[in-house]
Amino acid sequence: MLCGIESIARVRLVVAGVLLTGLALPSACKSDESSDTDDEDGEGGAGEGGRGGGGQSGGGAAGKSGGNGGSGGSEPSGGAGGKAEGAGGNGGQGGSMGGSGGTAGGGSGGSAGAGGAAMGGMGGTPMAMDYFVYTSGGGSIERFSFNAETGMLTSLGVTALSGNTTYLSARPGGTNLYATNESSTGTVTALKIARGTGQLTAQSSKPTDGALAVHSHVHPSGKWLFVSNYNGANVRVFPLEDADGDLGDPTDTQPTGAESHQIMPDPSGKGVFVPCRGPNKVYQFLFNETTGKLTKNTPDSVDSVDPRHIAFHPSGKFAFLVNENMSTVVSFAYDAASGKLQNPKSVSLAGENAGSHIEVTPDGKFVYAGGRTTNTIYGFSINQDTGALTEVTKATQNIANPRNFTVAPTGKHLLVANQNAGTIKVFSIASDGKLTPLAGTTATVGGVKRVIVVPVPKP
């Protein structure tokens, strides 16, 4: 006799994706765990001697004469209904996703329990977000609100910083922004993002151990920040404080090569890549998320010509590189297990010799590359099996020296930073990848070098 069970029913449960074989538990033994669905625990049996149904397992045993079986459990895979024992007892109800109905009781008049509902309770609603756009230029960061449906921008103010603010990167969750200072003694500054307003508050600045800190990126875990130093020919790793996202003391600095334009982790955060124009190489590192250390992979690099920026497909299967003076975009197969780029294939950016930036849409269907000679954003569709690229658009209207651009997190818009024109321009992204400039979406930002859209949870 276990916890007062008078008759033991064997049931098969699916709990957290693991198939278990066990015993139906009465309410006195039920688990304290709760489901993520909207279902509630089974009700206890009615009538003399009735017992409650199990929380996650099958329905409870029915009461004595006249008692009803307990309802099914609360897990999405409902347990079997309770079995009626006494005369007139009814079977328990099935669980929340089609658990089998209870069988008729041994006593006269017992009826089968009803099956569970076809679907479990609805999941939680997505968190409501505000979208803020941040741009860098000179010694300041300008802030805008961004309508993620219409693409409209509204200026909210400017945050002054010392030095030559260039690249901006955001922490997952929209809690912090990080700004590099492209000066003779490179630094990076952490800033706190206020919910509701997007206002920035500077936290701390740290030296990057190299001149012209030109790029930064946050590790997918949100626990580390990578910085590349263009003239310093190295990269540095900073831990990020769990509580407030501020910068800790650096955990590693690795030599790379002259003109280290960028540092980019793969979607898993295991592989880290640094395009360097000086040696015409993309350096390959493996990252230890526990120690914050980078280790050169084998081989430690792949060859390219004037490599500037690299972007990864969200599946982690492919990577795409824009070469600055070579007028090409290179697609790589990516082996996420080994952290290595493989099988490069190039497509031409006809007439272009000043490639700038590259990004992949969140759905992985398209990749865009900027060209500053032709003042163009080139768009390509991505073969989801091979990574091969097919040109689908060349956007030139309202584009002038596009040093940087960004695809909004919704995938509906692309925002271009026109450095020489000192403007931000918003484009819609069609289902076929074509770009169309949106009327009334031009914002003036002097000497703009970076534009980023940050989703921030509403207060």
Read off the pLDDT of residues 272-293 as tens digits, 9 standing for 90 and up.
999 999 999 999 999 999 999 9
Same-domain pairing of 318 and 441: yes
Q: What mean pLDDT is predicted for residues 72-101?
A: 38
Taking residues 185-190, report their average pLDDT: 96
Of 51, 84, 103, the domain-final residue: 103
pLDDT, one tens digit per residue, over 211-268 is 999 999 999 999 999 999 999 999 999 999 999 999 999 999 999 999 999 999 999 9
Note whether residue 434 is domain-resident.
Answer: yes
Average pLDDT over residues 35-56: 37
Does the pLDDT value for residue 33 go beyond 50? no
Q: Are residues 88 and 152 in the same domain?
A: no
Among 82, 103, 124, where does a domain finish?
103
Q: Report the chain's mean pLDDT, rounded to a whole number.
A: 81
* Assigned token pair, 157: 């103010």
Judged against a pLDDT cut of 50, whether residue 408 lies above it is answered with yes
Q: What is the mean pLDDT of residues 145-160?
A: 98
Average pLDDT over residues 88-100: 39
**Within 10 Å of residue 5's Cβ, how many Cβ atoms?**
17
Does any domain span residue 81?
A: yes
Look at residue 112 and tell me whether its pLDDT is greater than 90: no
Q: Count of residues for the chain? A: 459
pLDDT of residue 443: 96
Residues 352, 214 share a domain:
yes
Q: Considering its fold, how many domains does the chain have in total?
A: 2
The strand pairing partners of 205, in sequence order, are 189
Residue 271 has pLDDT above 50, yes or no: yes
Q: What is the C-alpha radius of gyration for the chain, rounded to an integer number of angstroms? A: 29
pLDDT > 90? residue 350: no
Q: Is residue 338 part of a domain?
A: yes
Beginning with the edge strand found earlier in the chain, give each strand of the sheet holding 140-146 in spatial order.
153-160, 140-146, 129-137, 450-457
Strand order across the beta sheet in which 264-265 lies: 264-265, 271-276, 281-288, 293-303
For the cut 90, the answer to whether the pLDDT of residue 370 exceeds it is yes
Q: 79 and 176 in one domain?
A: no
Express each pLDDT in 301-339 by its tens digit.
999 999 999 999 999 999 999 999 988 999 999 999 999
Say yes or no: 327 and 275 in one domain: yes
Q: Kindly report the three-state secondary structure assignment for every residue of the chain.
A: CCCCCCCCCEEEEEECCEEEEEECCCHHHCCCCCCCCCCCCCCECCCCCCCECCCCCCCCCCCCCCCECCCCCCCCCCCCCCCCCCCCCECCCCCCCCCCCCCCCCCCCCECCCCCCCCCCCCCCCCCEEEEEEEEECCEEEEEEECCCCCCEEEEEEEECCCCEEEEEECCCCCEEEEEECCCCCEEEEEEECCCCCCEEEEEEEECCCCCEEEEEECCCCCEEEEEECCCCEEEEEEECCCCCCECCCCEEEECCCCECCCEECCCCCEEEEEECCCCEEEEEEEECCCCEEEEEEEEEEECCCEEEEEECCCCCEEEEEECCCCEEEEEEEECCCCEEEEEEEEECCCCCCEEEEEECCCCCEEEEEECCCCEEEEEEECCCCCCEEEEEEECCCCCCEEEEEECCCCCEEEEEECCCCEEEEEEECCCCCEEECCCCCEECCCCCEEEEEEEECC
253 and 313 belong to one structural domain: yes
Residues 185 and 78 in one domain: no
Q: Which of 246, 206, 247, 211 is nearest to 228 (CA)?
A: 211
Quote the domain boundaries for residue 19: 1-103
Tokens 């002038």, residue located: 400
The alpha carbon of 233 is separated from its chain's Cα centroid by a whole number of angstroms, namely 29
